[in-house]
């Protein structure tokens, strides 16, 4: 004898893929209209009060504000230079951060030197904050290395291309900080697309269970290549955290001050032994996914235009101007500095030598490996055979 199900037959559902179509507006609430979005500067550059987060930027001086502005402008200039270097054939590829300057500079400037950063492949602004020479970032896009800087030089890990992987490295690193009894923190960057990867969920689990001092900083730029965020989630991403036992917050990712405040709060939690935090910076990828991408295939110009009105740099400029924190000299000097940066980067890239052929065999292992030695020797003999033919 079995108990019959009481659930009566209902009309047939339409195919599953359709039912989420209507969610578009939910997941894409425009900044400013979402009560849950932390915002300290409106798109018009007006400073709005926030009971919870104001204290984290209470001490920010006009000079510091100008510093944030300068960071964003120089980062954007660097990014534009890289894009044009790609067009000139000097780089094989470039992943532009255009539009995400506030999210990166705001969070990057919240960090202490002893904190550690795990970036994706798009955190050029954070690298800038860490003091990584921007030309170093170009090596992998030029194809001369796979990320050549010393991660421990500036506590800025290498770019990670396999989506989501670095969130686990960040968690492990943070577990190590806790073991050491230090009060440093870790910040792990990832995208809205990455939020779907199992590794990211596992990093949430590990960091929560071990109460690791890590800030998960998700730049929701609305797109994972051609897929809008609705292909990854049907509720706002910051909400993901609570089911793992730690807080999540959505911040206006085009508001550098809000990003600074919220990241400071999250870092403070980490330092105080309160464990992980998820920050969702709600922003927009103004450009293509990379220089290989063609966004006209999948998104409308109007969307981009709407976001242009919320430009992170323009917003802070308006604020600086209406607050009389600047004079024309500042902007003019910055313009010159930008141009100089562009020139320096251009020259550095063009001068970047191709790696030695034997680099293939270098660093495969730290302690050596007989087969690598054997193949290196064969390669050398093979190369020499041409030299013989040609030269002798």
Ligand X SMILES: Cc1ncc(C[n+]2csc(CCOP(=O)(O)OP(=O)(O)O)c2C)c(N)n1
Catalytic residues: 285, 289, 298
Site string for a copy of itself, 257-296 (x = CB under 8 A): ---x---x--xx--xxx-x---------------------
If binding is defined by CB under 8 A, does position 30 make contact with other proteins?
no
Site string for a copy of itself, 196-235 (x = CB under 8 A): xxxxxxx--x--xxxxxx----------------xxxxxx
The total number of residues shown for the chain amounts to 392
Among the candidate windows 102-110, 219-227, 306-314, 319-327, which touches ligand X by CB under 6 A?
219-227
Site residues for a copy of itself, window 350-369 (CB under 8 A)?
none
Residue 108: CB minimum distance to ligand X, A: 15
d(CA 173, CA 212): 9
d(CA 193, CA 196): 6
Residue 133: CB minimum distance to Mg ion, A: 26
10 interface partner picked from a copy of itself, ligand X, other proteins, none, CB below 5 to 8 A per type:
a copy of itself
Beta strands in 100-232 (DSSP E): 116-118, 186-191, 214-220, 223-224, 227-228
Let me know: does 201 contact 168? Beta carbons within 8 Å.
no
Let me know: does 306 contact 30? Beta carbons within 8 Å.
yes
Site residues for a copy of itself, window 173-202 (CB under 8 A)?
174-175, 178-179, 181-183, 195-202
Taking alpha carbons only, the member of 199, 204, 198, 123 closest to residue 156 is: 123
If binding is defined by CB under 8 A, does position 245 make contact with other proteins?
no
Let me know: does 327 contact 67? Beta carbons within 8 Å.
no
226 interface partner picked from other proteins, Mg ion, a copy of itself, none, CB below 5 to 8 A per type:
other proteins
d(CA 211, CA 221): 28
Using the minimum distance from each CB to ligand X, give the nearer residue, 145 or 326. 145
Taking alpha carbons only, the member of 55, 159, 157, 56 closest to residue 115 is: 157
If binding is defined by CB under 8 A, does position 151 make contact with other proteins?
yes
Let me know: does 185 contact 215? Beta carbons within 8 Å.
yes
């Amino acid at each position: 004898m079995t108990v019959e199900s009481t659930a009566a037959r209902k009309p047939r559902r339409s195919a599953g893929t359709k039912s989420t179509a209507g969610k578009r507006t939910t997941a894409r609430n425009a900044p400013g209209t979402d009560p849950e979005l932390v915002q300290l500067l409106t798109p018009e550059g007006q400073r709005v009060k926030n009971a919870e987060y104001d204290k984290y930027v209470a001490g920010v001086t006009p000079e510091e504000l100008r510093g944030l502005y300068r960071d964003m402008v120089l980062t954007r200039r660097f990014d534009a230079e890289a894009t044009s270097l790609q067009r000139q054939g000097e780089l094989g590829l470039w992943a532009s951060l255009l539009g995400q300057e506030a999210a990166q500079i705001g969070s990057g400037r919240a960090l202490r030197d002893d904190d550690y950063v795990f970036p994706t492949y798009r955190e050029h602004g954070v690298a800038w904050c860490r003091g990584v020479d921007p030309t170093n970032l170009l090596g992998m896009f030029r194809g001369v290395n796979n990320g050549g800087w010393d991660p421990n030089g500036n506590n800025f890990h290498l770019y990670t291309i396999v989506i989501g992987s670095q969130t686990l490295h960040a968690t492990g690193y943070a577990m190590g900080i806790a073991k050491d009894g230090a009060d440093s923190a870790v910040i792990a960057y990832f995208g809205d697309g990455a939020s779907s990867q199992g590794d990211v969920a596992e990093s949430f689990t590990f960091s929560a269970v071990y109460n690791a001092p890590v800030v998960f900083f998700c730049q929701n730029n609305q797109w994972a290549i051609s897929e809008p965020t609705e292909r990854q989630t049907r509720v706002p991403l910051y909400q993901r955290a609570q089911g793992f036992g730690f807080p999540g917050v959505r911040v206006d990712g085009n508001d550098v001050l809000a990003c600074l405040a919220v990241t400071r709060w999250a870092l403070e939690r980490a330092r105080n032994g309160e464990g992980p935090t998820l920050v969702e910076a709600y922003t927009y990828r103004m450009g293509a996914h990379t220089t290989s991408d063609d966004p006209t295939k999948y998104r409308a110009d109007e969307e981009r235009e709407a976001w242009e009105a919320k430009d992170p740099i323009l917003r802070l400029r308006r604020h600086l101007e209406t607050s009389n924190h600047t004079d024309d000299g500042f902007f003019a000097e910055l313009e010159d500095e930008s141009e100089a940066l562009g020139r320096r980067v251009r020259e550095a890239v063009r001068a970047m030598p191709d790696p030695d052929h034997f680099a293939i065999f270098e660093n495969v292992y730290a302690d050596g490996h007989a087969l690598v030695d054997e193949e290196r020797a064969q390669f050398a003999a093979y190369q020499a055979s041409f030299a013989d033919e040609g030269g002798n």
